[in-house]
């Protein structure tokens, strides 16, 4: 039997190239070797103050983005989390084998709660729901960016504690972390590329050329032009994006030449930025085109229904076993 891989993404805005290179590109590649279950995690989105009118269209739109990036509903199960309410039931049960102390140590909770006036219990419980998402499908691998690795360690601990108390049931899920697992913001290379930091801190996969050009042109670099100088975080980020985009869209030789120029202290950053811009566009434009075609074909609702039905049949089996083990019903 093939291994099961699970991952999810929040419908809290547009997909950015950090999400793409850090996670979604791997999701697509893994379809060749595993049974993949991919989910738009709309229950998770409720942990921030999201407009109810926006949530449904945003979830649908994220599903389209994922398909445009190569998630193939023929090969993978693609669905919205809220169409499979077993996620929430398992989350409650797993919450009862999760320690308050462990949850209090989650750095994402500390970071996100610091910037909010109202801190919900949902935000605190976020990693437990994430553990439920994964364990419901008894997934053994979870392709994620680096920011999710701590949550994955907690998922493993939760699986261990459940298995220890109620008997072996869940595999301990391993993070699958590839290249591009932590892409930094071009406007502030000290923080990761993210939507919540603001427009200038991310490049959207569906963004238009001119807007991408503007953001790349204004990327933070340094004074440069010193042979053998250490690369600043900003220049490193530009090279990292160039490397990743070139491995998708071709152009590795140009990257090598630019690196040699940097080493020699002769690199003009305007040339590096032009190359980064061109490389990003080469990756995102075909995705944008596919997305437009998928949207015109009006297939997403049926695909999500079908995905939810397949997910639910696995989820029901797991929940029934869990209820039996813990003595419910
Ligand atoms: N900068 C990043 N570099 C590499 N991978 C990243 N991921 C997120 N940011 C980067 C990975 O993308 C997947 C989906 O993440 P998510 O649903 O948790 O989205 P997010 O983290 O909410 O995305 P943002 O933009 O960072 O949102 P905010 O600002 O709201 O926190 C995950 O695998 C994640 O690791």
Write the pLDDT tens digit of every residue in 254-265. 888 899 988 888
Which residues, listed in sequence order, are joined to residue 143 by a DSSP beta bridge?
A: 176
Give yes or no: 110 in active site: no
Does residue 195 lie in a domain region?
Answer: no
- Both 48 and 102 in one domain: the answer is yes
Q: Are residues 271 and 313 in the same domain?
A: no
Q: What angle do CA 229, 272, 222 make, to 5 degrees?
A: 40
The whole-number pLDDT of residue 1 equals 65
Nearest CA residue ID for atom 15, ligand 1? 9
To test ligand 1's pocket by mutation, which of 7, 14, 21, 22 has the most ligand atoms within 8 angstroms of CB? 22
* Structure tokens given for 263: 């080493």
pLDDT of residue 230: 76
- pLDDT bin (cut points 50, 70, 90) of residue 146 is very high
Residue found under tokens 């003009």: 268
Is the same domain home to 212 and 257? yes
Q: Is residue 315 part of a domain?
A: yes
Q: How far is the CA of 196 from the centre of ligand 1 (A)?
A: 10
| Count of domains for the chain | 2
DSSP 143: E
Distance CA 233, CA 222 (A): 9
Give pLDDT, residue 40. 98
Q: Which of 110, 112, 259, 273 is catalytic?
A: 112
Q: What is the mean pLDDT of residues 33-60?
A: 95
Q: Are residues 302 and 322 in the same domain?
A: yes
pLDDT value of position 303 = 98
Question: How would residue 173 be classed by pLDDT, with cut points 50, 70 and 90?
Answer: very high
Report helix angle 149-166 to 121-135, nearest 10: 70
Is residue 186 in contact with ligand 1, taking CB distance under 6 Å? no
Q: Is 26 a member of any domain?
A: yes
Put the strands of the sheet holding 35-40 in their side by side order.
Answer: 77-80, 35-40, 4-9, 141-143, 174-176
Is 182 close to ligand 1, i.e. is its CB under 6 Å away?
Answer: yes
In a domain, 31, yes or no: yes
Residues 118-129: what's their mean pLDDT? 96
Residues 67, 132: one domain? yes
Q: What pLDDT score was predicted for residue 225?
A: 65
**CATH code: domain of residue 71:** 3.40.50.620
Average pLDDT over residues 112-126: 93
Residue 189 in any domain: the answer is no
In a domain, 65, yes or no: yes
In a shared domain, residues 263 and 308: no
- Provide, rounded to the nearest whole percent, the portion of the chain with pLDDT above 70: 97
Could you tell me if the CB of 63 is within 6 A of ligand 1?
Answer: no
**Element at 39 (helix H, strand E):** strand 35-40
Specify whether 163 is located in the same domain as 106. Answer: yes
Indicate whether 147 pLDDT > 70.
yes
Locate tokens 């209090």: which residue? Answer: 104
First-residue to last-residue Cα distance in the chain = 31
Return the ligand 1 atom nearest residue 112 CA.
31
Q: What pLDDT is attached to residue 253?
A: 73
Same domain, 231 and 254: yes
Task: Please report, rounded to a whole number, the percentage of residues in the chain having pLDDT higher than 90.
Answer: 84
Same-domain pairing of 162 and 61 = yes
Q: Say if residue 172 is in the same domain as residue 52.
A: yes
Task: Dump pLDDT digits (tens) for 58-71.
Answer: 999 999 999 999 99
How buried is 231 (Cβ within 10 angstroms: 0-12 exposed, 13-18 middle, 19+ buried)?
middle
Domain holding 113, by residue range, is: 4-182+298-326
User: Mean pLDDT throughout 181-201?
Assistant: 94
Task: Give the chain's mean pLDDT.
Answer: 94
Tokens of 289: 């085109």
Residue 314 above 90 pLDDT?
A: yes
Looking at residues 2-15, what average pLDDT do you find? 93
Cα–Cα distances (Å) from 172 to 115, 175, 259, 265, in that order, read 32, 10, 40, 48
CATH number at residue 253: 1.10.240.10
Q: Is 259 a catalytic residue?
A: no
Distance in Å, CA 162 to ligand 1 centroid = 28
Q: Is residue 120 part of a domain?
A: yes
Which of 56-65, 87-96, 108-117, 139-148 shows the lowest per-residue confidence on average (mean pLDDT)? 108-117
pLDDT, residue 221, reads: 87
Q: Which residues in 3-19 are b (16+ Cβ under 10 Å) and which e?
A: ebbbbbbbbbbbbbbbb
Active site residue 273: no
Q: What is the pLDDT of residue 48?
A: 87
- Is residue 197, in this structure, part of any structural domain at all? no
142 and 28 in one domain?
yes
Band the pLDDT of 223: cuts 50, 70, 90. low
Write down the pLDDT at residue 233.
92
Which protein residue has the closest C-alpha to ligand 1 atom 30? 196
Residues 80 and 24 in one domain: yes
Question: In this predicted structure, which of 10-19, 88-97, 137-146, 251-260 has the lowest mean pLDDT?
Answer: 251-260
């Amino acid at each position: 039997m093939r291994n099961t891989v699970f991952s999810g993404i929040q419908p809290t805005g547009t997909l950015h190239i950090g999400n793409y290179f850090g996670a979604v590109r791997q999701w697509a590649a893994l379809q060749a070797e595993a049974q993949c279950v991919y989910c738009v995690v709309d229950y998770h989105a409720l942990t921030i103050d999201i407009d109810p009118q926006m949530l449904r269209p945003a979830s649908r739109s994220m599903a389209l983005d994922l398909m445009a990036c190569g998630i193939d509903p023929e090969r993978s199960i693609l669905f919205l989390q809220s169409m499979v309410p077993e996620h929430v039931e398992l989350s409650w049960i797993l919450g009862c084998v999760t320690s308050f102390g462990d949850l209090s140590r989650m750095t994402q909770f500390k970071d996100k709660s610091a910037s909010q006036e109202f801190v919900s219990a949902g935000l605190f419980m976020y990693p437990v729901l994430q553990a439920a998402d994964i364990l419901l499908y008894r997934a053994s691998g979870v392709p994620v960016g680096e920011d999710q690795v701590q949550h994955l360690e907690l998922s493993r601990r939760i699986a261990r504690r459940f298995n220890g108390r109620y008997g072996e049931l869940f595999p301990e899920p391993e993070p699958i972390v590839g290249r591009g697992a932590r892409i930094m913001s071009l406007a502030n290379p000290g923080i990761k590329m993210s939507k919540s930091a603001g427009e200038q801190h991310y490049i959207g996969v569906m963004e238009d050329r001119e807007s991408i050009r503007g953001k790349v042109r204004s990327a933070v670099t340094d004074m440069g032009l010193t042979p053998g100088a250490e690369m600043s975080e900003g220049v490193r980020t530009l090279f990292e994006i160039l490397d990743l985009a070139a491995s998708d869209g071709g152009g590795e030789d140009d990257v090598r030449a630019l690196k040699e120029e940097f080493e020699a202290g002769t690199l003009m950053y305007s040339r590096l930025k032009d190359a980064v811009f061109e490389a990003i566009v080469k990756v995102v434009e075909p995705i944008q085109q596919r997305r437009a075609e998928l949207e015109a074909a009006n297939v997403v609702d049926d695909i999500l229904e079908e995905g939810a039905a397949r997910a639910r049949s696995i989820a029901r089996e797991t929940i029934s076993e869990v209820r039996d083990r813990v003595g419910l019903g």
